[in-house]
Structure 1
């Protein structure tokens, strides 16, 4: 069951919502509706599910509706029509129709938010800013001190806990915002372009930190961005928005390989494919390769073949000079032990950047496995396709 599930959701800014809904149903565009009655369609017909532990990135150009959609999850934007279900323990709450008490409960116990402009209170210390939400829950300073110090340690700001926000760099201030959200210990985290105001180097560092923290905390994150490289780097799923509508949603690799329209195609046109493509998408599958019926060796080209053992399992790579047993390598493993002439068997989920480095170091094709069985091979032609 999805932690956040959005169904046919509309958001309208203006005083004529009933009329605007009728105009939307008649097929009028955002600009036509605005000319007709002054209302602005913020989100139109959005449907998306976010599973527990995912980072779902909402992205698009300025004005596409991504922040408008994000802010419906904690009730900051009213829902004109549709459903928005949030998992709350053993029940599900429809934010579109829940009462104020339930909405307050969601905001204090289920959903936290990290803002683009840090939203820190300059008269409070770092620790007091992080503890603000806990104080709003009625927790005493003695009670929140340990929790706050743990979260500041988590984001590397413990020694700065008694400073004021203006004594910190921009990147450190954003980490205070992250610590404040983590301190609330909610399962759902909303992040509205949190790194966009930072320098590129600091932004990249915080993206890395978020990925590392997510591995430890396993939050369900909705992250708004207009930067596709950022979305591809941190997102497990991406929803691309145009003119208040979700035009494509899916895994980063699927969006890069199969854009649904020209808008998405233009978005991904200048993306570095090595950042997102996996070996399984570009490998030559084993069933496309010819097997010698006598030797039971599989020809992979360039005078090389795969060697099977008596049980039919692929165990070695044979060239005209030697037969080399496979060495298993795991994703994100060390490259230090990869040497010239080594035959490597890697998971099918390997990133193409890592696969290319293994190819460069060994001088040999990289074979890929899934569930313990070889499923394909990455030849030089496959690498060329990735780059093209």
Structure 2
């Protein structure tokens, strides 16, 4: 990760129940499993000992199965749910120390959320739904309409600005929600399983839309999902959670190439490895009999994208970064991944 972190989370806990603050303070209680803790204290640790940083412009994905704590976590980051203990620092500011007035200011100007349920105002046209946050800020009508039209165009809703939500498909309604989040020009966008209720084809289109928007506007994004394929498609890095605890955090190729435990290994078992792994995961050291006058590729090229060039070369392809030879890749390494089950 490069650059100073936009968000830094340290040892974050969210415990529900009677006297929740005692759990993270006690080494004995904090060591109990979720079931043991519930049986002994009546408390549920929805988020426990979570730490990570999010870099400027990064798409950071938090994923896990239902009950893993991922949605509770993202709500703790914005204090829609109050954390029990820990630290959340946003652009150098301790979010947990912010008073109600400062917190409202942060939510209006610094970060926005996109939820699974669109929450659109049914009796307002698209342009007024999109500009609602600016209206709350006190922006004049001309200014908020101008900005709303900019982001309506950005998310591909040009021509629908005077439609009402019930006249739009689910995917288009979610675009309105996305435009509303973008209208205030926040530093960070939080997505809490925004596409879960959409049909598969519409969901895929919205995933591509997020990728396109990230490429165009470069916003830092924290994206919550239970879908591994969605996480791999969108995330620069992915945090996998289980029972409220972080299991592994890394890039998609790190999770697939070097799973931290059997839980992650099972999670990524059916992922087509050739679509995720890069050449750095399959390259080998040159041998004395290698013909070293073949083409060059970078170590971060995905195996699937490199396959044609490597198979056509008929000789070792050099894996090079900054003029340094890191290794070579041949037909054998490529076919070893491409022909794996599920690839």
2 CA distance for matches of 1:155 and 1:61? 29
TM-superposed CA distance for 1:156, in Å, is 0.6
Alignment partner, residue 345 of structure 1 = 296
Alignment partner, residue 205 of structure 1 = 205
Q: TM-score, normalised by structure 2?
A: 0.92
Q: Are 1:155 and 2:155 counterparts?
A: yes
TM-superposed CA distance for 1:23, in Å, is 5.8
2:19 to 8, 16, 23: 16
346-355 or 237-246: bigger deviation? 346-355
Q: Are 1:4 and 2:2 counterparts?
A: no
Contact 2:292 2:316 in 1 (8 A): no
For 1:219-368, list aligned pairs within 5 A.
Answer: 219-285=219-285, 288-290=286-288, 299-300=289-290, 305-307=291-293, 317=294, 344-359=295-310, 366-368=317-319
Q: How many residues align?
A: 335
Equivalent residue of 2:238, what SS?
strand
**Structure number having the greater helix percentage:** 2
Gaps of 5+ in 1: 291-298, 308-316, 318-343
TM-superposed CA distance for 1:13, in Å, is 2.1
275-284 or 106-115: bigger deviation? 275-284
Q: TM-score, normalised by structure 1?
A: 0.82
2 CA distance for matches of 1:385 and 1:362? 17
2 CA distance for matches of 1:221 and 1:25? 36
Alignment partner, residue 193 of structure 1 = 193
Contact 1:232 1:275 in 2 (8 A): no
Alignment partner, residue 112 of structure 1 = 112
TM-superposed CA distance for 1:257, in Å, is 1.1
2:82 to 78, 85, 102: 78
Equivalent residue of 1:17, what SS?
coil
Contact 1:57 1:231 in 2 (8 A): yes
Contact 1:83 1:94 in 2 (8 A): yes
Q: Superposition RMSD on alpha carbons, in Å? A: 1.8
2 CA distance for matches of 1:19 and 1:213? 43
166-175 or 61-70: bigger deviation? 166-175
Gaps of 5+ in 2: none
Q: Are 1:371 and 2:325 counterparts?
A: no
1 CA distance for matches of 2:312 and 2:185? 44
By relative contact order (CA 8 Å, sep 6+), the higher-ranking structure is 2
Q: Are 1:55 and 2:59 counterparts?
A: yes
Contact 2:15 2:47 in 1 (8 A): yes
Contact 1:111 1:189 in 2 (8 A): yes
For 1:26-175, list aligned pairs within 5 A.
Answer: 26=29, 27-87=31-91, 92-175=92-175
2 CA distance for matches of 1:125 and 1:234? 30
1 CA distance for matches of 2:316 and 2:211? 30
2 CA distance for matches of 1:361 and 1:121? 57
Equivalent residue of 1:7, what SS?
strand
Equivalent residue of 2:76, what SS?
coil
273-282 or 21-30: bigger deviation? 21-30
